[in-house]
Amino acid sequence: MDGLEESLVVMRESFGRGKTRSAAWRKLQLNGILNLVGENEEMIFEALNEDLGKHPVEAYRDEVGVVKKSALHALESLDRWMAPKKAYIPLIFRPAKARVVPEPLGLVLIISSWNFPFSLSMDPLIGAIAAGNTAVVKPSESAPATSSLLAKLIPLYLDPEAIRVIEGGTDVSTRLLEKKWDKIFFTGSSRVGRIVMSAAAKHLTPVTLELGGKSPAIVDDLSNSDLEVAIKRIVSGKWGSCYGQVCLAVDYILVEERLAPLLIDRLKARLRKFYGSNSQDLKDISRVVNKHHFTRLCNLLKDPAVASSVVFGGSLDEDRLFIEPTILLNPPLDAEIMTEEIFGPLLPIVTLGNVQDSIEFINSRPKPLVLYAFTKDDSFKEQIVAQTSSGCVTFNDTCIQFVCEAIPFGGVGESGQGRYHGKYSFDAFSHEKGVLHRTFYLELEPRHPPLSDFKLKFLRLLYAFDYWGLVLLFLGLK
């Protein structure tokens, strides 16, 4: 943190000179990100494996590939995103013309999370760069290898006067949050999100908070073939991405009681096919990130009523920080495992009398980041969309919405605020400035003193009927 003040001064001066505003500078940096990823892919894989035990396929699918795709999309779209948009002018304001001009916010702070330590640092940075900002990236100290690699590589590929990495723990984050920023983008827990928002409020700094939430998956009555596809996608979405330590992961399943035995049998079978039958030597799977999170997850299972609901897995190995993929059936709804985000390889299943009851169940709890539903019933889909609130809804799959830049990604309520990905990332780091041009003729005198009842009548007509109110007035309605 030595030299923090000097770094911020340099970056603010760089922004003040207009260096980051040109499309050429933005494209140069986006190409720099593509080169960084392309030339250092193996080093990134190694860092992600060291921090989280990620297989190269998982690392590419969830991190490296995401960043490449995001940077390419921004490059291809940047000219269109930067172009002013013509605004419609109501007749009451004519003769005039107007446009909406996107402008960068300034110096922004990006605080990323440890579960996707590469993509959650670089993906928001792509949006910040595309929008023309200078940016400080604070990677998570819980993924030290990736944090160190970012600190090493970013100055080699990106403009050091405008983009910097600052490493460190909670003390560093605290110092950074004391500074004045033009935008803060935070990914992490709701607890820390409240701290970030409180610090930002001191300077009236706008924030985007990408938090968590207990994301449910509704499983409707499906044919055997459809259920098999659903099971694959649920297992991958729960255990196949950072071992469930993901805000997007399926947190719990809602299913009709009569369908639960079949669902559990299929989940068990798929887990064995994907990762093997030997719980001491599972293949192609990440690990719990550290001792703190291992202990937290173990504590979720300590309640005897919760432990007795385990129907699969549950074995623990403290030396390896390993928790076997675990399925629970109807744990107590007031237990911590059902009130707090799990963020790990534990999957509760809650049974209902009727799948329609899932809507009421979800609405009785804080708004989730994602609502998953596996169903072919179109009317039920419409009910879910219309009668529930969540950051997003995905039907018949898990997690893929995160890499679809065509739709916004973000939470609502306790699961976050703000949105990003694709054009939404550009918007997250931009201010849309309205620009209005008027001429010096056709002056409406009733807007000026001296005021009178006639002028009041004129304005009432004008506001109520726009141009036609003016026409009526001149036709003799006084």
Amino acid in position 9: V
Q: What stretches of 29-117 adopt beta strand conformation (E)?
A: 85-87, 96-104, 107-111
Q: Lay out the sheet containing 96-104: strands in order across.
A: 85-87, 96-104, 430-438
Q: Please give the full DSSP string across 435-470, using - where no structure is assigned.
A: EEEE-SSS--GGGSSSP-HHHHHHHHHHHHHTHHHH
- What is the spatial distance between Cα 478 and Cα 454, in angstroms, rounded to a whole number? 7
Contacts for 318 with CB less than 8 Å, ≥ 6 apart:
294
Among 63, 210, 341, 405, the one annotated catalytic? 210
The DSSP annotation for 295-307 comes to HHHHHHTTSHHHH
Contacts of 248 (CB under 8 A, 6+ apart): 215, 237, 241, 369, 370, 398, 399, 402
Q: Which residues contact 194 (CB under 8 A, 6 or more apart)?
A: none
Question: Which residues contact residue 59 at a Cβ distance below 8 angstroms, ignoring those fewer than 6 apart?
Answer: 44, 45, 48, 49, 118
Backbone angles phi, psi at 420, to 5 degrees: -155, -170
Could you tell me the sign of the dihedral formed by the alpha carbons of 47, 426, 431, 157, in that order?
positive
Give the Cα separation of 59 and 144 in Å (integer).
16
Beta carbons of 307 and 300 less than 8 angstroms apart: no
| Residue of 198, 152, 150 lying closest to 174 (CA atoms) | 198
Nearest one of 125, 110, 111 to 158, comparing CA atoms: 125
- Separation of alpha carbons 199 and 205, rounded Å: 9
Total length of the chain = 478
Task: Determine the Cα–Cα distance for residues 303 and 328; give it in Å rounded to an integer.
Answer: 13
Q: Which of 320-324's residues contact partners 24+ apart within 8 Å by CB, and which partners? A: 320/287, 321/287, 321/288, 321/289, 321/290, 321/291, 321/294, 322/287, 322/288, 323/288, 323/294, 323/297, 323/298, 324/279, 324/282
- 432, 448, 478 from 460: Cα distances, Å: 31, 15, 12
Please say if 210 is a catalytic residue: yes
Catalytic residue chosen out of the listed positions 63, 242, 247, 414: 247
Taking Cα atoms as reference points, which of 140, 344, 116 lies closest to residue 245?
A: 344
> Has 76 been annotated as catalytic?
no
Q: Which residues are catalytic?
A: 210, 247
